[in-house]
C-alpha cells in the first residue's frame, strides 16, 4: 500500500541560497529612501557639538507580499541530518572544530594538524577556513626558520590531495609569510610567485591585499609599494577600512589635559563589592588611571572614554584577585586573628592561591597527554578534549573565573544553598569560553586595522554610512569575515568537561573555618571544612546532582555578600554602545554579543542570519540603537538614602532587614499523626524558602547599590538586544531601568530639559502615578499632588527622619525621587524654567488586551482598555472585578455556599493578575493558583482558598469572554492555527515526526521562530558525576502543546514589541529622549505630550494594516504543500464520506486498508486519502470537523486521514475604528 511517505518525495520548486534549499523572494518592500535616511540618522551624537540633522521622514511599516517571507525547508534545517564522526575519541564535529582551534591558539600545531587531517566531509566553506587558520599559524614558524616550505607544501596538499580551492585569504596568508623573510630578493620573488598564482586562478590583486584581518598596517604599505598599487585598487568592501588604518598610522593624537573629577565620598556599605567594583572601574573613576606603568595617563575626554570602556571590559578578573589579595594582606597585618572573623575576600585569596598550582598541574598533565595522543588512556582521553581549551587562559584567570562563577551560581536552579551540577559545569565552561574569546578579540583589535573610531561613527553621518556599508558587505560575502577570525562556539559537551574539571579542583582546595563542638569535652573548636560538597536531591521525582555550600560559607555570603561575578562586560557602558550593523555586530566594544537572545534554537538563528543578510532588520537595528544611545545618570540623593537604609539594617521599601532568619517550627514527636508530620515538613520548607528569598533579595540590593555607587559621576548607557519575539531588553542584567522600583528610583536621564507649563503638569501627574493614585483623571491627579505638597516637601527634606509619606507609595523609591525633583522645581525661582532630568512614564492599559481589542474590533473591549476617548481612565481590572462580584452576589442569593463566603471579598486586586495574564495564555490551573493566593490575602482560610479559587476562576474567565468576545475569538484562532501547524509535515520529511514550528514575520520584518521542542539529552561523564545535557544543535520533535499555548501570547508580544520600536524611531526623528520598559514609555516631562501623539500614531499605523489577514496569508504561503493529520467523528458527514470513499477503493483496488480499524492512524494515512478528502468535504469543513471531533467525548469513534494543511476562516472583525484612538487621552497614561 502506498503511504504518505511516498508522496513526500514530490519535488519542491525552490531556489538555492548559500548551498541550501531555501524559498526566497525579493527583498521586503521597505521604502529605500526612508530606510537609508533612518539608518543614517539613528546614531546622531548626544552632544550638540557632534550631532547631525536627522531626517523627518515617517517610517512606515513595510508592505508584504506573498513571497516576502524567508522559508527554510525541513531538510535544510540545522541538525536535521545525522552527525559525522571523525575519530573514536572526539565524536562530534563541533567539538573537533573547537579543539582544533584551541590547539592552534595554544601552539599545539602538530595536534591541530592531526585533527585537521582526520576531518572528512566538511562543507567547502568551512574546510577552507580550517586550512587557512592552519596556514596562518605556520607564518610564525616560517619566519623563524626563514623558509616557506611548510606553507607551500600544505598549499600543495590542499590542492592536490584534498581538492580544496584556495581563496584570496589563502594567498594573503602566503604573502604574509613571505613578508617575514629578511632576504629582500627572496621576499620579493616569493611575493611575486604567490601573486602570479593568485592571478592565474582568476583572482584580483586588490582583493588579496584587502584582507585586513591578515595584514598589519606596515604589511599593507609594503604590498602597495611593491605592486605599485594604491588604496583605490583594493576591493570596495575593504578599501575604507584600510584607508582609515593607514591614515590613523600617520596621525599623531594630541593629549588633552586630565580633567579632575571629585572623588565620591565613601559609603559604609558592608561587603567587598563596592571596593571591588571601584578597583574594577579604576579606568572609569580615576582620570589618572593607566592599564600599565608604561602607559601615558588616560585623559577624561570623549575620545578617551572609549579607551576607558575597553579597559573596563578587560579588567574584571585582575581587579577581583587584587581585592582578594588586599583583604588577605590586611588580615595578616592585623596579627593573630580568630579564623572565624576572616573576611570572605581573604578566604577567596587563600582558595585562589591553592587552586592555581592545581590548575598548573592539570595543564601540565594535559600537555603530556597531547604529546602522544595515540597512547592516551583513562583520564588522558578526556584531557585530549578539554586540555587545549584550558591552555587558552592562564591558570590565574581560570582560577578567578571558577571561584567567581560558583559564588554567582549560589541559589540558582531551585537549589537552596547550592546549585545543580549540570548548570554549574555548563555555566563555568561558558564563562571560560567567553573570557578566551574576549582575549582573542582584544588581540584582533590591537591589530589596528579592524578597529573603527567609534566617536567618529557616532558623530559623523558619512562615517556611519561607511560602517554600515562594510557590515552589509561582510554579510553578503563581498567582504566576508576573514578566515583567520573564525571562532567556532564550544559545544555543550566541551563546556561541561572544562567546567567539571575546574569545579572538582576548586572543591578540593576550597576550605572554610567552622565552629563545632568537641564530641568529648563539649568545647567550642574551630575546624577547617570543605566549602563545597557534592550531593543528590530529588526534584519533581527526579534525582539531581547538586553542589552544596557549607553553612559556614553561607553565613559569610549572608553578611559579606558577593553574589555576582563582578564583570564589567555585564555593566552599563560609559560610552554609547556600538551601533547594530548586523545580527552579531553591535553592543559592547569587545564582548561578543548577538542582537537576539536565542537559547538552544539553531532554527531561530538561521532565520535571523538570513534576515540580517537580506537587510530586513534595518528598522529593528535602528530602534535598538535609539534605546542604546539614551544617556542615564545616578540619582545621588536617592542613592544616599538607600545606602543609609542599607547600613542601618532596617527593612524599608524593597530593602530587607538584616535581622536573624525566620525561625523553624518545633518538631513534633516521632509518634505524632502523619498529617501533623506532613504539616511540619511543609512549614519547614516554607521557612527555608523564605530565608533563601530574603538572602537573595539582600544580595541583589547590595549588588545594585555597589553598581550605582561606582557610576555616581558617570554618563552611562544600556546597550539593548531583543528576545526571539522582538521585545527589547538592556544587555547589562544587574542594573538597568527594567529593574525593580529601587533601580528605577536610582536612575535619571543624564540630560535635562526645561519643564515648561505642560512639563510641570506632567511632573505632578507622575507624582500621583508613582504614589498609586493613577485611576483618576489627569486633572484630579495633578490636584492630588498639590493637596499633598506638605508631605512631598517633608519627604524631600527628611526622607528618613520625617513622616515617611513616600514609603506608603505603590513605588516608594520612585516616589521619593519624584519628591526630590518636584520640591526642587517648585522651590526654584521659576518652576517652568527648572531643568528636569526625571523620566516620566506613560503606561499602556493592559497593553496585550489593547492589541487584542484592536485586532478583533471589540467596541466594548476597546472602551475598557482606553482605546476609545473618555473623560476619565477606564480600568479593565475594576470592570472585571465588578462583573465577578455581581455574579457572586447573584449566586449567593440563590443559595450557593461558595458564593456566600465570597460576598464583599472580590476586589480589583483579587482578579488583576489573572486578567493581566489571561491575554498571555494563562491556563485555568495557573489562574486558579493566582486567585488562591489573592484570596488568602483578603482573609479566606487556607483550607477554603483552593475550592473558592476554582469557583472564582470560572467566573473570571466567563467575564473576560463576555467583555472581549472578539479578542477571544482571535485568541482561539491563533491557538488552533498553531496546533494545525505543529502537527503538519512537509512533503519532503523522512518520517511522521512532528517537526514543524510556528514561524511568522513581524510588521518590522523580524522572523519569529517558536523554539519549543522536546528536549533530547546526552549523557556526559565528568569529573563530578555523569550529567545529562541537551544538544543545542539538534532539531528535535516540536512540543505541540507548547507551540499551541505559547503562540497567542508570543504573537501579541511581537506586536507590542513592534509598537515600541516604531515609537522609538518616531521620537528619535523628533529629537526626543526615549526609553521603554515593554509597554511603559519614558521621556522628559516637557516632551510627554509630543511622545503621546507619536505612540498613538504608531499604534494606528500598526493596526490600520490587515495584521490577521497578513498572518493567515503568510501561513498559507509558508506551509504550502504541508500535510496534516485530519480527523472527524465517524458518524459525521465528513467521517461518513471518507469511510465510504475508502470502502469503495477497497473493493475496486484491493488495498490493505482496514476500514473497521478507524483508530489506527498508520493504516488509514495513505496518499490516496488526500483525494478522498477533497471529494468528501471541503478543506475548511474538514478542519471544522476535526475540531468538533476533538471536543467530543473520547469514547466516540473517529476517522483520521492525511490532508492538505488549511486554516479556519478568520473571525469577523468588529466595528471599532482604530482612528478613534487618536482622541483617547488615556490610551497610555
- Kindly state the DSSP code that residue 701 receives in the 8-state scheme: H
843 is catalytic: yes
Torsion-angle region of 756 (φ positive above 0: left; ψ -120 to 50: alpha; else: beta): left
Catalytic site residue from 380, 489, 560, 843: 843
Told to judge if 912 belongs to the known catalytic residues of this protein, a careful annotator would answer yes
Question: In terms of residues, how long is the chain?
Answer: 1229
CB-side exposure of 602: number of CA atoms within 13 Å?
15
Q: Which residues does 194 contact at the CB level (< 8 Å), separation at least 6?
A: 171, 174, 175, 178
Q: How far apart are CA 77 and CA 549, in angstroms?
A: 42
Report yes or no: 1051 and 975 within 8 Å, Cβ to Cβ. Answer: no
Check if the beta carbon of residue 1128 is closer than 8 Å to that of residue 1182: yes
**Helix segments in 266-343, DSSP class H:** 273-280, 282-285, 302-314, 316-333
- Yes or no: say if 633 and 748 are a contact pair by the CB < 8 Å rule: yes
Grid coordinates representing 1205 are 494543511
Determine which one of 548, 753, 912, 1123 is catalytic.
912
Given a contact cutoff of 8 angstroms between Cβ atoms, the answer to whether 1012 and 1043 are in contact is: yes
User: In this structure, are residues 697 and 555 in contact, taking their beta carbons and an 8 Å threshold?
Assistant: no
The vertex-575 CA angle with 572 and 578, nearest 5°, equals 95
Of 1079, 1087, 1169, 1172, the catalytic one is: 1079
User: What whole-number distance in Å separates Cα of residue 463 and Cα of residue 711?
Assistant: 30
CB burial of 726-763 (b: ≥16 within 10 Å; e: otherwise) equals bbbbbbbebbbbbbebbbbbbbbbbbbbebbeebbbbb
Distance of CA 343 to the CA centre of its chain: 35
At 798, list the grid cell.
Answer: 527628611
290's grid cell: 593607566
Report DSSP state, residue 864: H
- 1072 sits in which H/E element: none
Q: Report which DSSP code applies to 538.
A: E
Task: Tell which residue, 614, 695, 703, 722, has the closest CA to residue 1053.
Answer: 722
C-alpha to C-alpha distance for 70 and 608, rounded to whole angstroms? 10
Q: Which residues contact 664 (CB under 8 A, 6 or more apart)?
A: 683, 684, 687
Measured distance CA(358)–CA(508) in Å, rounded:
9
How many Å apart are CA 320 and CA 272, to the nearest integer?
10
Residue 955 · residue 888 · CB < 8 Å:
yes
Are 608 and 21 in contact by the 8 Å Cβ rule? The answer is no
φ and ψ at residue 835, rounded to 5 degrees: -85, 110
Q: Are 796 and 724 in contact, with CB atoms under 8 Å apart?
A: no
Picking from 590, 595, 568, 586, the residue whose alpha carbon sits closest to that of residue 629 is 586
Beta-carbon contacts of 818 under 8 Å, excluding residues fewer than 6 positions away, are 763, 766, 767, 770, 838
| Residue ranges with strand state E in 937-1058 | 984-985, 999-1001, 1007-1009, 1017-1021, 1026-1030
Which of these, 81, 80, 100, lies nearest to 90 by C-alpha position? Answer: 100
Cell 559545544 maps to which residue?
491
338-343: list long-range contacts, CB under 8 Å, 24+ apart: 338/526, 339/513, 339/526, 339/528, 340/513, 340/515, 340/526, 342/513, 343/272, 343/560
3-state secondary structure of 600: coil
Active site amino acids: 843, 912, 1079
Amino acid at each position: 500500500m502506498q503511504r504518505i511517505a511516498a508522496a513526500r518525495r514530490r519535488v519542491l520548486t525552490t531556489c538555492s541560497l548559500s548551498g541550501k534549499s531555501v524559498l526566497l523572494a525579493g527583498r521586503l518592500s521597505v521604502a529605500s529612501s526612508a530606510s537609508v535616511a533612518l539608518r543614517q540618522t539613528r546614531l546622531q551624537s548626544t552632544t550638540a557639538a557632534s550631532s547631525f540633522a536627522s531626517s523627518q521622514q515617517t517610517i512606515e511599516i513595510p508592505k508584504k507580499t506573498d513571497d516576502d517571507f524567508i522559508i527554510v525547508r525541513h531538510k535544510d534545517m540545522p541538525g536535521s541530518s545525522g552527525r559525522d564522526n571523525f575519530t573514536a575519541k572526539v565524536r562530534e564535529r563541533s567539538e573537533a572544530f573547537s579543539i582544533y582551534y584551541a590547539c592552534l591558539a595554544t601552539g599545539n600545531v602538530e595536534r591541530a594538524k592531526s585533527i585537521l587531517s582526520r576531518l572528512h566531509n566538511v562543507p567547502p566553506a568551512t574546510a577552507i577556513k580550517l586550512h587557512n587558520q592552519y596556514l596562518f599559524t605556520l607564518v610564525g614558524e616560517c619566519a623563524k626558520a626563514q623558509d616557506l616550505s611548510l606553507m607551500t607544501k600544505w598549499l600543495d596538499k590542499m590542492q592536490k590531495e584534498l581538492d580544496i580551492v584556495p581563496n584570496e585569504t589563502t594567498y594573503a596568508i602566503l604573502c604574509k609569510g613571505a613578508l617575514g623573510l629578511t632576504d629582500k630578493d627572496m621576499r620579493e620573488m616569493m611575493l611575486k610567485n604567490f601573486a602570479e598564482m593568485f592571478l592565474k586562478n582568476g583572482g584580483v590583486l586588490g582583493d588579496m591585499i584587502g584582507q585586513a584581518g591578515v595584514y598589519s598596517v606596515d604589511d599593507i604599505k609594503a604590498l602597495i609599494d611593491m605592486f605599485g598599487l594604491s588604496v583605490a585598487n583594493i576591493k570596495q568592501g575593504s578599501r575604507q577600512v584600510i584607508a582609515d588604518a593607514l591614515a590613523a598610522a600617520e596621525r599623531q593624537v594630541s593629549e588633552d589635559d586630565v580633567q579632575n573629577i571629585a572623588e565620591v565620598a565613601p559609603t559604609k556599605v558592608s561587603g567587598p563589592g563596592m571596593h571591588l567594583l571601584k578597583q574594577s572601574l579604576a579606568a572609569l573613576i580615576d582620570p589618572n588611571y593607566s592599564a600599565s606603568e608604561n602607559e601615558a595617563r588616560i585623559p577624561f575626554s570623549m575620545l578617551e572614554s572609549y579607551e576607558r570602556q575597553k579597559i573596563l571590559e578587560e579588567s574584571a578578573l585582575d581587579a577581583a584577585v587584587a581585592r582578594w589579595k588586599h583583604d588577605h594582606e590586611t588580615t595578616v597585618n592585623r596579627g593573630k586573628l580568630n579564623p572565624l572573623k576572616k573576611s570572605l575576600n581573604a578566604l577567596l585569596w587563600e582558595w585562589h592561591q591553592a587552586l592555581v598550582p592545581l590548575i598548573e598541574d592539570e595543564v601540565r598533565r594535559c600537555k603530556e597527554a597531547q604529546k602522544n595522543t595515540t597512547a592516551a588512556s583513562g583520564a588522558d582521553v578526556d584531557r585530549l578534549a578539554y586540555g587545549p581549551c584550558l591552555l587558552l587562559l592562564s591558570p590565574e584567570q581560570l582560577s578567578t573565573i571558577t571561584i567567581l562563577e560558583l559564588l554567582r551560581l549560589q541559589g540558582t536552579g531551585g537549589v537552596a544553598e547550592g546549585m545543580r551540577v549540570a548548570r554549574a559545569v555548563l555555566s563555568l565552561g561558558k564563562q571560560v569560553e567567553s573570557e578566551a574569546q574576549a582575549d582573542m578579540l582584544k588581540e584582533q583589535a590591537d591589530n589596528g586595522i579592524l578597529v573603527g573610531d567609534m566617536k567618529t561613527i557616532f558623530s559623523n553621518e558619512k562615517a556611519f554610512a561607511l560602517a554600515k556599508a562594510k557590515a552589509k558587505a561582510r554579510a553578503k560575502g563581498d567582504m566576508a569575515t576573514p578566515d583567520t577570525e573564525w571562532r567556532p562556539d564550544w559545544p555543550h559537551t566541551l563546556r561541561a568537561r572544562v567546567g567539571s574539571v575546574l569545579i572538582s579542583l576548586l572543591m578540593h582546595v576550597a576550605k572554610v573555618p567552622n565552629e563545632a563542638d568537641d564530641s568529648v569535652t563539649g568545647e567550642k573548636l574551630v575546624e577547617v571544612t570543605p566549602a563545597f560538597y557534592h550531593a543528590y536531591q530529588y526534584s519533581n521525582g527526579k534525582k539531581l546532582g547538586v553542589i552544596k555550600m557549607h553553612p559556614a560559607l553561607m553565613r559569610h555570603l549572608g553578611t559579606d555578600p558577593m553574589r555576582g561575578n563582578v564583570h564589567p562586560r555585564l555593566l552599563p557602558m560609559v560610552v554609547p554602545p556600538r551601533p547594530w550593523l548586523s545580527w552579531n555586530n553591535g553592543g559592547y566594544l569587545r564582548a561578543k554579543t548577538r542582537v537576539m537572545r536565542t537559547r538552544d534554537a539553531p532554527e531561530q538563528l538561521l532565520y535571523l542570519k538570513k534576515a540580517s543578510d537580506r537587510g530586513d532588520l534595518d528598522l529593528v537595528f535602528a530602534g535598538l540603537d535609539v534605546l542604546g544611545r539614551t544617556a542615564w545618570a545616578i540619582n545621588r540623593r536617592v542613592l544616599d538614602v538607600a545606602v543609609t537604609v542599607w547600613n542601618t539594617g532596617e527593612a524599608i521599601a524593597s530593602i530587607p532587614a538584616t535581622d536573624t532568619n525566620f525561625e523553624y517550627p518545633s518538631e513534633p514527636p516521632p509518634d505524632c499523626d502523619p498529617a501533623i508530620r506532613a504539616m511540619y515538613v511543609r512549614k519547614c520548607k516554607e521557612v527555608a524558602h523564605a530565608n533563601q528569598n530574603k538572602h537573595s533579595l539582600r544580595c541583589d540590593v547590595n549588588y545594585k547599590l555597589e553598581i550605582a555607587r561606582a557610576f555616581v559621576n558617570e554618563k552611562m548607557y544600556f546597550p539593548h538586544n531583543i528576545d526571539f519575539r522582538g521585545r527589547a531588553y538592556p544587555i547589562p542584567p544587574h542594573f538597568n531601568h527594567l529593574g525593580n522600583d529601587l533601580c528605577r528610583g536610582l536612575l535619571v536621564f543624564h540630560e535635562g530639559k526645561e519643564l515648561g507649563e505642560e512639563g510641570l503638569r506632567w511632573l505632578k501627574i507622575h507624582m500621583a502615578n508613582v504614589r498609586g493614585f493613577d485611576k483618576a483623571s489627569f486633572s484630579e491627579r495633578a490636584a492630588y499632588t498639590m493637596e499633598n505638597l506638605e508631605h512631598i516637601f517633608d519627604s524631600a527634606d527628611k526622607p528618613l527622619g520625617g513622616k515617611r509619606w513616600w514609603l506608603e507609595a505603590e513605588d516608594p523609591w520612585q516616589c521619593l525621587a519624584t519628591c526630590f525633583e518636584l520640591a526642587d522645581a517648585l522651590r526654584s525661582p521659576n518652576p517652568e524654567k527648572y531643568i528636569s532630568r526625571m523620566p516620566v512614564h506613560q503606561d499602556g492599559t493592559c497593553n496585550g488586551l489593547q492589541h487584542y481589542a484592536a485586532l478583533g474590533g471589540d467596541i466594548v473591549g476597546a472602551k475598557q482598555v482606553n482605546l476609545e476617548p473618555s473623560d476619565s481612565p477606564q480600568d479593565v481590572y475594576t470592570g472585571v472585578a465588578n462583573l465577578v462580584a455581581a455574579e457572586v452576589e447573584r449566586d449567593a442569593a440563590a443559595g450557593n455556599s461558595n458564593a456566600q463566603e465570597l460576598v464583599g471579598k472580590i476586589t480589583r486586586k483579587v482578579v488583576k493578575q489573572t486578567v493581566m495574564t489571561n491575554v498571555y495564555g494563562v491556563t485555568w490551573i495557573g489562574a486558579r493558583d493566582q486567585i488562591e493566593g489573592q484570596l488568602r490575602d483578603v482573609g479566606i482560610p487556607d483550607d477554603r482558598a483552593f475550592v473558592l479559587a476554582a469557583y472564582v476562576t470560572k467566573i473570571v474567565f466567563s467575564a473576560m469572554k463576555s467583555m472581549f468576545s472578539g479578542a477571544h475569538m482571535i485568541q482561539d484562532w491563533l491557538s488552533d492555527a498553531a496546533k494545525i501547524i505543529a502537527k503538519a509535515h512537509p512533503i519532503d520529511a523522512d518520517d511522521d515526526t512532528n517537526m514543524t514550528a510556528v514561524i511568522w514575520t513581524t510588521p518590522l520584518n523580524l522572523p519569529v521562530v517558536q523554539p519549543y521542542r522536546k528536549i533530547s539529552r546526552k549523557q556526559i561523564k565528568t569529573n563530578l558525576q555523569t550529567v545529562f545535557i541537551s544538544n543545542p544543535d539538534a532539531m528535535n520533535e516540536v512540543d505541540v502543546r507548547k507551540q499551541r499555548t505559547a503562540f497567542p501570547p508570543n504573537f501579541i508580544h511581537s506586536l507590542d514589541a513592534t509598537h515600541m520600536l516604531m515609537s522609538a524611531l518616531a521620537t528619535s526623528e523628533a529629537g526626543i529622549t526615549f526609553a521603554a520598559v515593554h509597554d511603559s514609555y519614558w521621556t522628559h516631562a516637557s516632551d510627554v505630550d509630543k511622545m503621546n501623539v507619536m505612540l498613538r500614531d504608531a499604534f494606528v499605523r500598526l493596526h490600520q494594516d490587515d495584521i490577521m489577514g497578513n498572518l493567515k496569508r503568510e501561513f498559507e504561503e509558508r506551509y504550502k504543500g504541508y500535510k496534516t493529520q485530519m480527523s472527524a467523528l465517524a458518524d459525521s458527514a465528513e467521517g461518513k464520506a471518507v469511510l465510504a470513499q475508502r470502502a469503495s477503493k477497497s473493493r475496486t483496488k484491493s488495498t490493505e486498508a482496514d476500514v473497521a480499524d478507524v483508530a489506527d492512524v498508520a493504516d488509514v494515512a495513505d496518499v490516496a486519502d488526500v483525494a478522498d478528502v477533497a471529494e468528501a468535504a471541503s478543506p475548511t469543513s474538514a478542519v471544522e470537523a476535526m475540531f468538533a471531533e476533538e471536543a467530543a467525548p473520547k469514547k466516540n469513534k473517529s476517522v483520521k486521514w492525511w490532508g492538505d494543511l488549511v486554516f479556519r476562516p478568520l473571525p469577523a472583525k468588529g466595528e471599532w475604528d482604530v482612528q478613534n484612538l487618536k482622541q483617547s487621552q488615556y490610551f497610555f497614561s
